[in-house]
Amino acid sequence: QKEVEQDPGPLSVPEGAIVSLNCTYSNSAFQYFMWYRQYSRKGPELLMYTYSSGNKEDGRFTAQVDKSSKYISLFIRDSQPSDSATYLCAMSLFGNEKLTFGTGTRLTIIP
Amino acid sequence: EAQVTQNPRYLITVTGKKLTVTCSQNMNHEYMSWYRQDPGLGLRQIYYSMNVEVTDKGDVPEGYKVSRKEKRNFPLILESPSPNQTSLYFCASSYQVGVGETQYFGPGTRLLVL
């Protein structure tokens, strides 16, 4: 069993829809949770960063962490074609030193 | 412009022929790291460096070497490449290791070992 599980998709939704992306994990010691966005033929870029359980909002993006269920989510509101990318979850014990990544979910927003 | 650069971007080589992938950052970052990305396996860390002359193994270090003689450069060396090292490689850097520090990724190097 992988430490971090993420549905690879692909996921296609119409423009303007709310997108929900999720990861589950097995290591209860993870404390830091991140979402990266990766456009085709590019390196990942950090989108959201949260510590422990709770919600964090940044514009159209909301990250949720439920440590009791070992489940994290990223919500994208009013999705745009420019949001089409692969979304990777990542988590760590102590910050950014050693990240464990999910396999990524490929998202396409249909105009 | 703040960035992480990698060279080459694409490389085709043959089994056993030593190669080096360079990584350079212009942000005076202390922490640098190498990852490989494979379908169905995601990003996996190969090696990382906390500062000059300080390196340590990640999750998949076998078959790779690194060195950190200067703060800005962190080359990845494959002494004797094998086909199972065919992958997409990313270098990343951050100001330092710690909470809230963002890792900046390079554009990637696509390697094919025949």
The DSSP string of B93-104 is EESSSSTTPPPE
pLDDT tens figures, A71-111: 999 999 999 999 999 999 999 887 767 889 999 999 999 99
Residue A43 and residue B105: Cβ atoms within 8 Å?
yes
The residues pairing with B43 across neighbouring beta strands, listed in sequence order, are: B37
For chain B, give the mean pLDDT.
93
pLDDT tens figures, B79-94: 999 999 999 999 999 8
> Nearest by CB to B98, which of A41, A46, A96?
A96
For A29, phi then psi, to 5°, come to -80, -15
Angle B77-B46-A6 (CA atoms, 0-180°, nearest 5)?
140
Residue A99 and residue B103: Cβ atoms within 8 Å?
yes
pLDDT tens figures, B9-60: 999 999 999 999 999 999 999 999 999 999 888 899 999 999 999 999 998 9
Residue B105 and residue A44: Cβ atoms within 8 Å?
yes
